[in-house]
Every structure is written in C-alpha cells, then in structure tokens.
Structure 1
Amino acid sequence: MYYELAASTWGPEEVEALHRVIDSNMFTMGENVRRFEQAFAAKFGVKHGVMVNSGSSANLVAVAALAYKREKPLQRSDEVIVPAISWSTTFYPFQQYGLKLRFLDVELDTLNMDVSKLEAALTPRTRAVAVVSILGNPAALDVVRAFCDKHDLIMFEDNCESMGATLNGKPTGTYGDLNTFSLFFSHHISTMEGGMILTDNDELYQLCRAMRNHGWTRDQPADSMLFERSEDDFFEAYRFILPGYNVRPLELSGAVGVEQLKKLDGFTAVRRANGTYFTQRFAADPRFIIQRENGESSWFSFTFILNPNMKLDRKRVMQSLKAADIGYRIITGGNFLRHDVIKHFDYDCVGPIINANIAHDHGFFVGNHPFDLRDRIDTLYQVLDEATR
C-alpha cells in the first residue's frame, strides 16, 4: 500500500533479540520481561512496571487490582467517569467488574474528554475517572489529577495510544494511580502483542502481579503485602490468593521491548516532525477539523473531521482515499455509545453527547510512522482537496 495505517518499527536488533531467546529455549515470562519492566518504569520515572500480553489486558488487570485493594476497593454499582470516545477495552473491565459508567462528551478539536463537565458528573457513588489521551494527544491530565485529588477519587490513565507524549513536561501515562500502555504492532513501540502497567503504589503493583499470573503467590516479593507465607513449601508453590487471569507476556516480547524502548525517543521525534508538517498543510483549511495539540503529542495518527457545516461527503472521501491506496479508519472506534455492546452496560450520559457523534459521523484518521512522510502528506492533501471540492 502507498500510505499504510501502520508499519513495522523493527530492525536487526529486534530480530537478534528474538534469536537470543530462541537459542535460550526459555520462552515463558522470565528475565527478559523483568528487564523490560524495569527499563520501562525507569524511562517514565515511575516506581513499578508490570508487563502483560496486551494493552487490553493491562486495563483488565489494573481494574481488577482496584477491586481487591485493602482500603476502599472498587465495588459493584460504584461509578466511573469515562469519555465517549475510546477503544472498547477501556470500558469493558469496568463493566465486567460491575461498575456504572458515566459518559462525558469530548472536545471536538482535541478529541479528548471535556473536563469542564467533571463536576457535573460527580455523584456520591463516583469512585474513579478513566481518562484517555486520544491518538497521541494528551488529555487534560493535570485537570483530572487535581479533580481526583480534590474528591478522593482514583485516576485511571489509559495511555495505550499516546506513549511518548508529554503535558507540562511530564510524560503521559504517569499522571494516574494506575497507568496503562499498549505495545501492539501499530503503536509507538511494538513487542508484537503486549501491554504495560505503571504505578508508584506498592500494593497495586503486587495486586497487578498476582492478577496477571493466575492469582497465585509465585510472582510475589518475599515481603508481599497480600498474604503471609507459611512454612509449607509444597503448598506455597501453588497457593492461590486472588481470582486472577493468565495474561503473562512471553520472553520474546520482553526481549524485543528492551530494544524497542531504546528507539522510542527517536521514533517520537520523527512522528512529531511529521505532525508539524501535517499541521502546516491542513490547519488553515476550514474543510477539515484536525486535532489541536495539547502539550506535546506523540502523533499516533492524523485525524480529520469533515466540517459538518460544509456538508461534505465522507463516502466520496473514503472512495478517493481507497483509489489513492491510502489506508484509513474510524477514529478510535468512534462514539462507544453507538456500538451494539452498550446494551450490556449500566451507564448514563452527563449532558448531551454532541461532539463524539460528529467525530463518529464525519471523522476518520490516517497513519503516522517514525519515518519521513512529507511526500505522502502532500499526496493526502491533493486527494482530500479534490474529494471535498
């Protein structure tokens, strides 16, 4: 394809790392995963990292940990404030643990949660805010952090689309009590499949380690806060303390992650250069609403909303992009409230959901990559200019 949605970020270093693991004949979670966890946490200035097999699993394990912490665990019928636009597995774990979701609209220009509605969303049952930085663009994480601190709420930061972004000089994925990342093929760095949880909280860290690994004690430190060891080593080897999962990563993924993490800064710099050029080409054109950068985006992709006041034909645009061999897709799944699965949720909306519907009906995105895309962006402009005349 001339201009793909996603492209490989691997080089010979990642292939060599795979061969080292294969030669070792040790494939299940071990030393390479541990090294990657430590390097990832250090990179972002957070105390603990827990690697799992996907960003979706990172969200699941993190929510599960919140349901089993000693003080004020999440309980069924508790409420969590969420944005109307995000990937499905931002929302699923909260539903699966019995929480009610309160949806807020998004800002049309940033595509992130409209934090001006946070106070209106607060009820006596509110326990958490799940905030998402959409497609590389930092949400108002500082505002959400202050709101959560003021009201003694959990801040759950889903940073699966925005690794490498910063707000006020602080990396996204470090503002929350629990922070999640995706390491999928199309994301900023890739371990094939993979995810990461970051936290500074010792108890949540230990809970996440137990929940990813059958809920047993084998993955716990000697001074675990979760249980007291007995002297029966035979039993302790297979002692289960939590209703956990098996979402462990492979050593192959951990080894690749160590190499990919070394390249993140370089990848991000090139993505930002592409973002600057993209903005120069499209920002002044009234036909297109593009993301207004909040802080420093890591530019996962380039989003468009066709100006609804100009009655432009998105189907014609899609046909033109397809003919030009340019990949495209809906913005992060669009408005989640528009999907069939919502019938399985306990939820309500705080005020009208307007902008998420506009993005759903008039929006799309194309890819960004860690290599020079100026020629493709020029072609993209030509195609969209012709398709929207």
Structure 2
Amino acid sequence: MFYELAASTWGEEEKAAMADVIASGRYTMGEQVLAFEREFAGYFGMDHGIMVNSGSSANLVATAALAYKSDRPLQRGDEVIVPAISWATTYHPLQQYGLKLRFVDVDLETLNIDVAQLERALTPSTRMIVPVSILGNPAALDIIRDFADAHGLYVLEDNCESMDAELAGRKTGTFGDLNTFSFFFSHHISTMEGGMILTRDRELSDLCRSLRAHGWTRDLPADTALYQRKSSDHFEAYRFILPGYNVRPLELEAAVGRCQLAKLPGFTAARRRNLALFQELFAGDDRFIIQREHGKSSSFCFTVILNPKHSLDREKIFAALKEADIGFRIITGGCFLRHDVMKYYDYEVVGSIENAITAHELGFFVGNHPFDLTPQIVRLREVLDRF
C-alpha cells in the first residue's frame, strides 16, 4: 500500500536482542523485563514500572490495584468520569470491576475530554477520572490533576496512544496515580505485544506486581507491606494473596522494548516533522477539522473530521482514498456509546455528546510513522482536493 496505517519500526538491533534471549534459554519474565521496567520508568522520571503483556492488561491491572488498595479502595458502584471517545479497553476494566461510568463529551478540535464539563460530571459517588490523551495529543492533564486533587479523586491516566507527548514540559503518562502505556505493533514503540504501568506509589506498584502474576507473592520485594511472611518456605514459595491474572510479559518483548526505547526520541522527532507538514498543508481549510495540538503531540496519526457545515460525503471520500491506496480507519474506537457492548454497562451521559458523535460519523485517521512521509501526506492532500 502506498500509505499504510501502520509500519514496522524494527531494525537489526531488535532481531539481535531476540536472538540473544533465545540463546539464553530464558523466555518468560526475568532479567530483561526487570531491566526494561527500570529503564522505562527512568525515561519518564517515575519510581516504579510494571510491565505486562498489553496496554489493555495494563488498564485492567491498574484498575484492579485501586480496588485492592488498603486505604479508600474503589468499590462496586463507585463512579468514574471518562471521555466519550477512546479504545474499548479504557472502559472494559471499569465495567468488569463494577464501576459506573459517567461519559463526558470531547472537544471537537483536540478530541480530548472537555474539562469544562468536569464539575457537571461530579457527584458524591465520583471516585476517579480516567483521562485519555487521544492519538498523541495531550489531554488537559494539569487541569484534570488539580480537579482530582481538589475533590479527592484517583486519576488513572490512559497514555496508551500518546507515549512521549508533553504538556508544560512534563511527559504525559506521569500525571496519574497510575499511568498506562501500550507497545502494540502500530504504537510509538513496539514489542509485538506489551504494556507498562508507571506509578510513584509503592503500594500500588506492589499490588500491580502481584496481580499480573496470579496474585502471587513471588515477584514482590522482601519489604512489601502487602503481607507478612510466615515461617514455612515451602508454603511461601506458592502463596497467593490477591485474585490476580496471568498477564506477564515475555523476555523477548522486554529485550525488544529496550532497543525501541533507545530509539524513541528519534522516532518522536520524525513523527513531529511529519505532523508539521500535515498541519501546514491543512491549515486554514475549514472543510476539514484537524486535531489542534495541545502541548507537544507525539503524533500517533493524523485525524480528519469533515466539517458538518459543508455536507461532504464521507463514503465518497473513503472511496477516493481507497482508489489512491491510502489506508484509513475510525478515530480510536469512535464514540464508545455507539457500540453494542454498552448494553452490559452501568453508565450515564453527562449533557450532550454531539462532538463525539460528529467525530464518529464524519471523522477518520491516516497513519503517521517515524520516518519521512512527505510523498504520502502530499498525496492525501491532493486526493482530498480533487474530491
């Protein structure tokens, strides 16, 4: 395809790292995972990193950790404020832990949660906010953090689409009590599958470590406060303290992740150069609403929303893109309230969600990659102009 939605970012270094792991004979979670966790947490200036097998699992384990916290744990029926646009596994763990979701509309230009609606969304039962920086563009995380602190709310920051983005000189994925990342094939770095949780809280870190591996004690530091050791080493070797999962990562994934992390600054710089060209070519054309950069985007992709006032036919535009060999897809997961799965949710909608619906019905995105896309972006502009 001339303009792919996703592209590999691997080189010979990643293949060599995998070969070294295979030669070692140790494939499951071990020293490579520990090293990657330390390096990744260090890159973001965080105290604790917990690697898991996907960004979706990162959201699941993070939600679970807050449900088993010793002080003020999340409980069934507690309410969580969420944006109307995100990927499915932003929401599923919240439903699976019995939480009630309060959906808030997005800003049509940034595609992130409309923080002007936070006060309206707040009730006496609200316990948490889950901000999502959509497709590389930072949400108003500083405002959300201040609002959460003022009202005693947890923040679970879903940063799976926005690794290496920045807001006011601070990396996204560092504003939450827990912060999640994804290393899926199309994301900013790729370990095949994989994810990470970052936190500054020691108890939450220990909870995540136990929950990712069966609720076991094996991976916990000796001085953890989660439990008291007993005298029998025979029993302690297989002691379970939480109803956990098996979402452990592989050594292969972590070894690749270490290579990819070293390349991340260069990847981000290339993505931002492509973004600058996209912004230049589409600036001032009110037929198309493109994502307004908030802070410094790490530019996962390029979004286009057809301005409703021009009555453009999206299906005909899709046909033109297909003919030009340009890949495209729905913006993240679209307006999540439009999906069949909502019949299983306990939720309320706060006010209107017309912006999320507009993005769902009139929007799409095309890919961005960490290498020069000048010919691809120029053709995109030409195809839309011809149409």
TM-score, reference length from structure 2: 1.00
Looking at structure 2, the residues matched to 164 and 386 of structure 1 have their Cα atoms a distance apart, in angstroms, of 35
Identify the residue that residue 111 of structure 1 maps to in structure 2. Answer: 111
Which residue matches 1:338? 338
> In the alignment, which residue of structure 2 is the partner of 1:90?
90
Distance 2:132 2:249 in 1: 24
**Partner residue in 1 for 2:161:** 161
CA distance in 1, matches of 2:168, 2:333: 28
**Residue of structure 2 equivalent to 1:205:** 205
Aligned partner letter, 1:328: F
Alignment of 1:18-57 (within 5 A): 18-57=18-57
Which letter does structure 1 place at the counterpart of 2:237? A
Whole-angstrom CA distance in 1 between matches of 2:249 and 2:155:
25
Q: Which residue pairs with 1:216 in the alignment?
A: 216
SS of 1:63's equivalent in the other structure is helix
The match for 2:367 is 367
TM-fit CA distance, 1:284: 1.2
- 1:254-312 alpha-carbon deviations (Å, 9 max, x no partner): 00001000000000000000000000001211110000000000000000000111000
Instruction: State how far apart, in whole Å, the 1-side matches of 2:97 and 2:87 are.
Output: 18
User: Tell me, what secondary structure is at the counterpart of 1:180?
Assistant: strand
In 2, distance between residues paired with 1:68 and 1:272? 40
Displacement of 1:113: 0.1
Q: What is residue 288 of structure 2 aligned with on the other side?
A: 288
Matched, 1:146 2:146: yes
Uncovered stretches (5+) of structure 2, i.e. residues with no partner: none
Show CA shifts across 1:39-70 (max 9, x none): 00000000000000000000000000000000
Matching of residue 384 in structure 1 with residue 381 in structure 2: no
Correspondence list, 1:252-331, <5 A: 252-331=252-331
Give the Cα–Cα distance (whole angstroms) in 1 for the partners of residues 188 and 384 of structure 2.
Answer: 26
**Aligned mates of 2:244, 2:386 — CA distance in 1:** 53
Structure 1 stretches lacking a partner, 5+ long: none
Task: Name the structure 2 match of 1:193.
Answer: 193
Cα distance in 1 for residues equivalent to 2:149 and 2:67: 19
Contact 1:40–1:261 (Cα < 8 Å) also in 2 = yes
4+ residue stretches of structure 1 with deviation over 4 A? none
One-letter code aligned to 1:214: H
1:138 and 1:254 mapped to 2: Cα distance?
A: 26
Distance 2:132 2:24 in 1: 39
Structure 1 distance, partners of 2:284, 2:188, is 27
The secondary structure found in structure 2 opposite 1:119 is helix
Instruction: Answer yes or no: is the 8 Å Cα contact 1:47–1:200 preserved in 2.
Output: yes
Q: Deviations over 1:67-102 (max 9, x none)?
A: 000000000000000000000000000000000000
Question: Does the CA contact (< 8 Å) of 1:67 and 1:74 recur in 2?
Answer: yes
Offset at 1:375? 1.0
CA distance in 2, matches of 1:139, 1:283: 21
Q: Kindly state the Cα deviation for residue 24 of structure 1 after the two structures are TM-superposed.
A: 0.4
Range with greater deviation from structure 2 (378-387 or 161-170): 378-387
**Counterpart position of 1:172:** 172
1:2 corresponds to which letter in structure 2? F
Secondary structure of the residue aligned to 2:130 is strand
Q: Secondary structure at the match of 1:102?
A: strand
| TM-score for both structures, normalised by structure 1 | 0.99
CA distance in 1, matches of 2:242, 2:260: 33
Task: Give the Cα–Cα distance (whole angstroms) in 2 for the partners of residues 318 and 118 of structure 1.
Answer: 35
Amino acid at match of 2:341: V
Task: After superposition, give the CA deviation of every residue in 1:307-365 in whole Å (9 maximum; x if it has no partner).
Answer: 11100000011111111111000000110000000010000011011100000000000
* 8 Å contact from structure 1 (residues 283, 289) kept in 2: no
Partner SS for 1:231: coil
Alignment of 1:59-70 (within 5 A): 59-70=59-70
1:234 aligns with 2:225: no
In 1, Cα distance between equivalents of 2:45 and 2:209: 19
Give the letter for the 1:373 counterpart.
L
Equivalent residue for 1:134?
134
Report the Cα offset of residue 139 of structure 1: 0.2
Query: What SS does structure 2 have at the residue aligned with 1:360?
Result: helix
Letter in structure 1 aligned against 2:106: V
Paired amino acid for 1:202: R
Structure 1 position 105, deviation (Å): 0.1
Question: Contact 1:164 / 1:268 at 8 angstroms: preserved in 2?
Answer: yes
1 CA distance for matches of 2:229 and 2:183? 34
Distance in 2, matches of 1:113 and 1:287, equals: 23
Secondary structure of 2:214's partner? coil
CA distance in 2: counterparts of 1:225 and 1:5, whole angstroms = 46
Count of residues in correspondence between the two structures: 387
Alpha-carbon distance between aligned partners in 2 of 1:131 and 1:242, rounded to the nearest angstrom: 27
Aligned partners of 1:36 and 1:254 also within 8 Å: yes
Q: What does residue 184 of structure 1 align with? A: 184
Aligned-residue offset at 1:385: 1.1
1-structure distance, mates of 2:375, 2:386: 17
